[in-house]
Chain A
């Protein structure tokens, strides 16, 4: 009978549609739950001078009232407002990440190192932060920099020293000042120039022969997580062509001259220095990009 298959198809269709509706509803419910954050965390804590606010939290007039959704527009006013609001202006990445068959040309790599140097007083200095920061807390830093973040061609680099997880602003200060340009123009004294010339980042690490894994050319103190620069959230030109391999130091060894912890048992500095150069071969010529 022709009716039979039609009916069952209708039934099947309504079952699928119904199922989708239920699925969407359930997942929507949970997604919704997750996204409903309280704006309380964005407000300042209560001032606690008066004892009353401590003791009697119910009915006290100083208790913060839950912020209405309409007032939650903090992204328009926060310290990173401009940064957030200019997301649309970001470019699609021009360069592609390196791959085993497409190594990075040296000049591209040098340009990347140059860009990197712009935020550091010398190679090894803590980079300054290129965007305004929340001045009174480091709590938000790791939201982007904990695992790293990419939006189009912009990267929030992953923290390279995860064991120091706390007080980010102790070492990283913003290069964008704490004030507006107008205020700074009014009050800041023109800075006398500084003639410091910092050590530059070394180029490629030496290889034993073309094609051998390069040794690590730079010092690694506070740079224990290689993925910070060489992983998928690093600058394109500095990324590893084989991100799937996680144990970097299996093949890439740090130069002993750069490890200041050597010979811990012999404190004299000169003893350390005298012993240090053992593992440093003379730097080899930079291998051609396509061996």
Chain B
């Protein structure tokens, strides 16, 4: 009986993978069994944020017609947010780009794909070292991998950086300098187990609604969870919180030092945990001593650490942050209690911070110091904003200083390993770090004779014309420079295509095969379900087609050691397929071939990935995914903890096996509270903070074309405290001018609307391409992560009518 059931199950499995194989290689979406209403359903991760919900996509007559939360997905358990429920509509804005467009005499005119590929190839051939790629945390894993290999392994250049630099670079430097390896140790399961959830400058109710509901629904079921919101303005999240601690912008560093101070003063830290698993660090005396000096820091004794924290009394912290000493004591009291489990989450509040690396470090630090680490529910966890910031930007390493799998450009051994896997000659990979995002755009916008050494820039799957800070300097300055050539692959016209010289129409989401990696180390896979509109094509194909054209034009870098084309891809039968010819692209599963090649990189930092086919069967798997004795593949929920992580030694309990100090210990950093890069003064008396809203995803290029979302949030606004408005005689809804040292913006003021900033504080969301708050933002970067601060600068307001 049991045998028979097992047999049936195996048969079903075999049939399933065979069918999946067949589907993946079809050049058109394969027919699948339809339900009685003619709709066929398939799984895919949501296109939008980094939560990584799985949706079921309902397809009928080659069009997406319905979306459902996937109940088999552990992340969302059948629930979605309003963006997720409407994600299918993102494909059907009537102004989808359907053919390549080249700017001639200032006008974008249709051209053929051959012409487009030829144009790009000629531009690169003319000056390969002045070519750069600006990519995205929305690239699928294989797309990012193809771009990374093309430029680093083919062109021998490291001028590639993703928009993820603008959103989680500080989280990366935080993880690297504390644990020696990137990405959270915990996962979303912590949200099911924690007694206390602390959200550090993190409006989870709007930005990660499904995760927020995962906690709120525990309350509905009668469980007790204490919710603490630390913020610089009241939000929807505040409404659900037990405690709201409002702090002065940038003073989060002081608050965390205050907690550490009290833990030590009251002898309430966890000496056993600290003794066994931690070392202490401070910023290096000479940050330029070695390239990794800022990440490794200088050793510091516990006594030194104690002394450094000495000044951060609750009273001083109150003075710096505005949070009452009592509340600081309350927070410290929670960390002092080992019987409760505390999960910290953060997102852009810590990361888009001119001391973002330090903010990340200090948060890990108080968890380590108090021993609130390594048990389910006890975790410091950063959340990401893009669906594959972790998978593509961080793990594939599409950044200017990374190689795949957590390797570094500056490390000769890492370069050599990478060259071996790519089978390219030794020395092919350039040992010099490329330009990070802000520098890349600065160089692109600067004339060549003034040191602007980037001439051709290819943007894929992102909208920097709206999302970069200080747009006048970093983007708009490109206008009127005929020797600068901007290539943009996208699905709609955006603020970026406004200045593009060549626009390429891309396939999106379920119009192509794909893989994403979410915030909790979960790698996800989906198949193409519908055909892209018109002549839109996959981003990875675009990259490979250009590589092939360069190969044919004689660029030596496009060949490996054995003289074979860099992207020589074979189908499951071992036959080579010329995938650079678009009609042949889906004759094999290019995603699978690229992923299997990339997988070889994943074991070095113990970020082990399973074979492609395992992801076909699963709703994502969290790395390290390790093969068991019986041949099955097991994911890891809690990294560094012996009870779950197979790489931890028996008996170690907790082992930081990529420790910076090579002794299996994590680093607790001291970092001082510092002032923001620009603070309010007499001329610019307001703090200006920017961010997101529930209805729109980032620059809104997709969500603003979805009628339901557009109707709910049709345009941007500036939030202001009612007293500030009253003093200036401003009425709700009135048009005002917000001005900073970099620009000005006219938009309506919204008092007591979605959020409530305190006195002297403004907030503008960044989704609206007509009301672009990044004309105002400062763009000061964290010195270690190079991530800009979008959350703090000085501004002033005036009535629109009285403004000059």
Contacts and interface: CB of A to CB of B under 8 A. Distances in A.
A189 B216 CA distance: 35
A260 B66 contact: no
A274 B714 contact: no
Nearest to A201: B37
Nearest to B714: A188
Given A166-B216, A261-B71, A122 B66 contact: yes
B714 A202 contact: no
B710 A191 contact: yes
B68 A199 contact: no
Contact of A258 (B35, B42, B213): B35
Contacts of B714: 177-179, 184, 187-188
Interface stretch (A31-39, A130-138, A236-244): A130-138
Contacts of B240: 166-167
B605 interface: no
Interface stretch (B80-88, B426-434, B572-580, B645-653): B80-88
Top 8 nearest A-B pairs (CB, nearest first) are A268-B16, A173-B712, A166-B216, A188-B714, A271-B12, A270-B16, A187-B715, A170-B209
B655 to A, nearest CB: 31
Interface in B67-119: 67-72, 78-82, 85-86, 88-89, 91-95
Interface in A133-178: 135-139, 163-167, 169-178
B713 to A, nearest CB: 6
B85 A121 contact: yes
A202 B35 CA distance: 12
Nearest to B318: A51
B609 interface: no
A221 B71 CA distance: 9
- Chain B's interface size range is 35 or more
A178 B326 contact: no
Contacts of B747: 187
Given A49-B322, A54-B327, A268-B13, A193 B94 contact: yes
Interface of B: 9, 12-13, 15-17, 19-20, 32-33, 35-37, 39-43, 56, 58, 60, 63-72, 78-82, 85-86, 88-89, 91-95, 205, 209-210, 212-213, 216-217, 219-221, 234-236, 239-240, 244, 246, 248, 318, 322-327, 616-619, 694-695, 704-717, 721-722, 733, 735, 747-748, 750, 752-756, 758-759, 769-771
Contacts of A189: 704, 715, 769-770
Interface in A215-260: 219, 221-222, 255, 257-258, 260
B36 to A, nearest CB: 5
Contacts of A128: 708, 711-712
Contacts of A188: 710, 714-715
A278 B770 CA distance: 53
B13 A266 contact: yes
Contacts of B94: 192-195
A176 B554 CA distance: 59
Contacts of A172: 82
Contact of A219 (B15, B68, B95, B212): B68
A260 B758 CA distance: 46
19 contacts: A47-B756, A49-B759, A121-B706, A126-B82, A136-B235, A136-B755, A139-B239, A174-B711, A178-B750, A179-B733, A179-B748, A183-B748, A194-B94, A198-B66, A257-B36, A260-B71, A267-B619, A273-B41, A282-B36
Given A173-B695, A177-B711, A255-B36, A165 B220 contact: yes
A140 B342 CA distance: 30
Contacts of A170: 81-82, 205, 209-210, 212-213, 694
Nearest to B23: A270
A124 interface: yes
B68 A260 contact: yes
A121 B89 contact: yes
A41 interface: no
B285 to A, nearest CB: 36
Contacts of A280: 35-36
Contact of A177 (B19, B91, B235, B712): B712
Contacts of B37: 199, 202
Nearest to A191: B710
Contacts of B616: 268
Please indicate which of the listed interface residues A51, A139, A170, A265 has the most CB atoms of chain B within 10 Å of its own CB. A170
A45 B86 CA distance: 34
A175 B708 contact: yes
A88 interface: no
Contact of A194 (B32, B66, B705, B752): B705
Given A196-B91, A261-B71, A267 B618 contact: yes
A197 B65 contact: yes
A47 B247 CA distance: 11
A66 interface: no
Interface residues of A, number: 79
A27 to B, nearest CB: 35
Contacts of A94: none
Contacts of B771: 187
B15 A274 contact: yes
A73 B694 CA distance: 30
B10 to A, nearest CB: 10
A88 B210 CA distance: 39
Contacts of B758: 47-49
A48 B89 contact: no
B66 A124 contact: yes
A186 B735 contact: yes
A269 B42 contact: yes
The interface centre, meaning the residue of A173, A270, A275 with most chain B CB atoms within 10 A of its CB, is A270
Contacts of A7: none
Given A124-B66, A177-B714, 18 more contacts: A51-B322, A123-B66, A163-B221, A166-B213, A170-B694, A171-B80, A178-B750, A179-B714, A183-B733, A188-B715, A192-B93, A192-B95, A260-B68, A267-B619, A268-B13, A268-B616, A274-B12, A276-B33
A80 to B, nearest CB: 15
A180 interface: yes
Contact of B20 (A122, A255, A270): A270
A197 B88 CA distance: 10
Contacts of B755: 136
B246 A48 contact: yes
Contact of B32 (A55, A175, A176, A273): A273
A8 interface: no
A221 B748 contact: no
A261 B13 CA distance: 17
Contacts of A289: none
Contact of A169 (B15, B60, B216, B694): B694
B33 A122 contact: no
A19 interface: no
A283 interface: yes
A44 interface: yes
Contacts of B33: 273-274, 276-277
Contacts of B32: 270, 273
A92 to B, nearest CB: 30
A40 B92 CA distance: 46
Nearest to A52: B324
A138 B19 CA distance: 45
Nearest to B700: A189
B68 A221 contact: yes
Contacts of B708: 121, 125, 128, 173, 175
A173 to B, nearest CB: 3
A108 B111 CA distance: 52
Nearest to A260: B71
A270 B12 CA distance: 8
Given A186-B748, A198-B66, A166 B217 contact: yes
B85 A171 contact: yes
A41 B704 CA distance: 34
A275 B12 CA distance: 9
A91 interface: no
Contact of B92 (A186, A195, A202, A283): A195
Contact of B715 (A166, A179, A219, A275): A179
